[in-house]
Amino acid sequence: MAPYRPLRVQEGKVTEQGERLLAALEAEIKSISKLEHELARTKVLLLEHVTRLRLGANPELVLTALRVALPHERTLALIERVDPVLSTPAEPPAHRANEGLNSRDDDASAGGRR
């Protein structure tokens, strides 16, 4: 990686294009720093859970703890590698509260006979 060198300035000022480029580069550096921090935190969490597994912790409990601790996209990627069936979100059961009412209405229209 080349050492950082300040922009060469002609006649003591940076051009408008240079200012935009400088702002974009600084924003990218800030974004990379945030990503590095997030990755370092994730690595520490993963190392802690590896230790728990090696010490005999229940894998389901470790996976649940990872789901809580890690960002959703990382957890999903991890689960897909471990067990693709677990990675598919469960669909909530269909709401059937009115299902019994319909059959009673049908019974009433039939004169209460079954």
- pLDDT band at residue 20 using 50, 70 and 90 as cut-offs: very high
pLDDT, tens digit (0-9, with 9 covering 90-100), for 67-110: 888 877 777 777 778 776 655 555 555 655 555 555 455 555 55
pLDDT recorded at residue 53: 94
pLDDT recorded at residue 47: 95
Residue whose entry in the numeric block shows the structure tokens 């039939």 = 110
Identify the burial level of 49 via C-beta atoms within 10 angstroms of its C-beta, where 0-12 means exposed, 13-18 middle and 19 or more buried: buried
pLDDT recorded at residue 71: 78
Is residue 6 scored above 70 in pLDDT?
A: no
The whole-model pTM stands at 0.55
Give the chain's radius of gyration (CA, Å): 29
CA distance 102 to 114: 14
pLDDT recorded at residue 49: 93
pLDDT recorded at residue 23: 95
CA distance 97 to 99: 6
CB 82 within 8 A of CB 89: no
How far does Cα 37 stand from its chain's mean position? Answer: 16
